[in-house]
């Protein structure tokens, strides 16, 4: 059995905070990594890695929107040959001298609220004869089919979360249209009664949408894996597109082992990702401790039992990924002694 373990934000992104690793007990992870050979790759983020793994080329954007329609789309909503783009609801707020974006991980919203907000947008753009229709297929995942509108070049929502947006707005030859649309939507949503109610109840207002992940459906994504284990929407979408088995992520490696047959498996452990993006150091440490208990410790035990022909751990960072790989024979090299995890994070 071969296992690819994809772990975004395994290392804390701020190298200037070395104390974050202090008193972290991670013997299984450190032992496993010690047996591995390692190399570094440039990284464009989780979405780029997943697309690359399935042979999906970047268009103007990574085509997340048409792929995700495989999961989110209704029977009468298919990507077809159309250009689709995500227009996800976000909360913008001012910090110091910049506008900072928060995505749906920091607010709750019902489908009824999403429909109320997009109804206002759709009415406005229909009245102005612009062929723009917002589809709230999930409360936190909105889509827009683009026909006559010029395609956009955008930054992934994951790149923008908890950051100032001034330098991250749509760019390229069509940026004037998309930036103007972004500002127009803010004005429409700002005074919506729903947002006034949310503000009165101390909830973040939904005062904009973030355009990202535009493209047309790629042709025939291919999978190097037998099975995909993940709660990530894009990973599930790519599994569907490539006709690969997809299974929701079990809570532990022990439960995964009960269902995993021979083959080549991709397991996506993204519990650390949001904590790192929002600079939640305590939450990141606690999540890493839980991964040690529920995943790394059982996987290390399985490795010592010779279960894996090859195990690869991809520690995906913002600009660089560290790839750790061990074959069955490497796992018996007792002279490779474990080192503190902070050594690898440098």
Q: Give DSSP secondary structure letters for 119-166.
A: HHHHHHHHHTT----EEEEETTEEEEEESSSPP-B---HHHHTTSB-T
Final residue in a domain of this structure, among 183, 215, 247: 215
Largest CA distance in the chain: 72
Final residue in a domain of this structure, among 178, 198, 215: 215
Output b/e per residue, 272-291; b: 16+ Cβ within 10 A.
bbbbbbbeeeeebbebbeeb
Q: Whole domain around residue 292: which residue ranges?
A: 2-57+222-345
Q: Both 47 and 122 in a single domain?
A: no
CATH of the domain at 34: 3.40.720.10
Residue 344, pLDDT score: 86
- Give the whole-angstrom CA distance, residue 142 versus residue 134: 7
Q: Is the pLDDT of residue 74 over 80?
A: no
Residue 126, pLDDT score: 87
Q: Both 211 and 233 in a single domain?
A: no
Q: Both 50 and 82 in a single domain?
A: no
Q: Both 230 and 292 in a single domain?
A: yes
Q: Both 230 and 178 in a single domain?
A: no
Q: Both 88 and 186 in a single domain?
A: yes
CA angle at 328 for the pair 323 and 334, rounded to the nearest 5°? 90
- Give the whole-angstrom CA distance, residue 333 versus residue 331: 6
Averaged pLDDT of the chain = 92
Q: Both 22 and 144 in a single domain?
A: no
Q: Both 205 and 158 in a single domain?
A: yes
> Mind listing the pLDDT tens digit for each residue in 32-54?
999 999 998 888 889 999 999 99
Q: How many structural domains does the chain have? A: 2
> Mind listing the pLDDT tens digit for each residue in 283-293?
999 999 999 99
Q: Both 32 and 146 in a single domain?
A: no
> Mind listing the pLDDT tens digit for each residue in 110-153?
999 999 999 999 999 888 767 788 999 999 999 998 877 678 89
Residue 73, pLDDT score: 83
Residue 301, pLDDT score: 95
Residue 15, pLDDT score: 79
Model's pTM, two decimal places?
Answer: 0.93
> Mind listing the pLDDT tens digit for each residue in 164-193?
999 999 999 889 999 999 999 999 998 899
Q: Both 174 and 74 in a single domain?
A: yes
- Give the whole-angstrom CA distance, residue 8 versus residue 161: 15
Q: Both 92 and 148 in a single domain?
A: yes
> Can you name the residues that pair with 80 across neighbouring β-strands?
none
Final residue in a domain of this structure, among 166, 184, 215: 215
Q: Is the pLDDT of residue 262 over 90?
A: no
Q: Both 18 and 123 in a single domain?
A: no
Residue 271, pLDDT score: 96
Residue 175, pLDDT score: 92
Q: Which of 12, 82, 6 is nearest to 47 (CA)?
A: 6
> Can you name the residues that pair with 85 across neighbouring β-strands?
144
Q: Is the pLDDT of residue 77 over 80?
A: no
Helix axes 233-241, 46-53, angle to 10 degrees: 10
Residue 269, pLDDT score: 98
């Amino acid at each position: 059995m071969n296992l690819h373990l994809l772990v975004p934000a395994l290392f804390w992104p701020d190298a200037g905070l070395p104390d974050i690793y202090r008193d972290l007990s991670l013997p299984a992870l450190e032992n496993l990594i010690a047996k591995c050979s390692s190399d570094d790759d440039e990284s464009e983020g989780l979405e780029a890695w997943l697309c690359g793994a399935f042979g999906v080329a970047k268009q103007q954007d990574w085509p997340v929107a048409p792929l995700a329609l495989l999961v989110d789309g209704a029977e009468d909503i298919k990507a077809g040959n159309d250009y689709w783009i995500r227009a996800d609801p976000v909360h913008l707020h001012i910090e110091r001298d910049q506008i900072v974006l928060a995505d749906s991980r920091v607010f709750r919203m019902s489908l009824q609220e999403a429909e109320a907000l997009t109804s206002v947008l759709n009415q406005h753009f229909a009245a102005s004869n612009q062929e723009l229709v917002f589809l709230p297929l999930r409360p936190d995942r909105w889509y827009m089919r683009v026909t006559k509108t010029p395609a956009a070049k955008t930054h992934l929502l994951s790149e923008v979360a908890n950051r100032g947006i001034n330098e991250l707005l749509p760019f390229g030859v069509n940026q004037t249209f998309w930036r103007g649309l972004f500002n127009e939507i803010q004005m429409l949503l700002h005074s919506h009664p729903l947002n006034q109610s949310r503000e009165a109840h101390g909830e973040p207002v939904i005062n904009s949408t973030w355009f990202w992940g535009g493209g047309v459906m790629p042709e025939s994504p291919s999978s190097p894996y037998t099975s995909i284990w993940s709660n990530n929407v894009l990973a599930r979408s790519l599994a569907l597109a490539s006709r690969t088995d997809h299974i929701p992520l079990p809570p532990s490696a022990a439960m995964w082992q009960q269902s995993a047959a021979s083959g080549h498996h991709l397991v996506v452990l993204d519990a650390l990702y949001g904590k790192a993006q929002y600079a939640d150091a305590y939450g990141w440490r606690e999540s890493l401790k839980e991964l040690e208990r529920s995943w790394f410790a059982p996987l290390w035990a399985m490795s010592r039992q010779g279960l894996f022909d090859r195990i690869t751990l991809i520690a995906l960072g913002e600009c660089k990924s560290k790839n750790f790989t061990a074959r069955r024979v490497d796992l018996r090299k007792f002279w490779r002694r474990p080192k503190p995890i902070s050594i690898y994070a440098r």
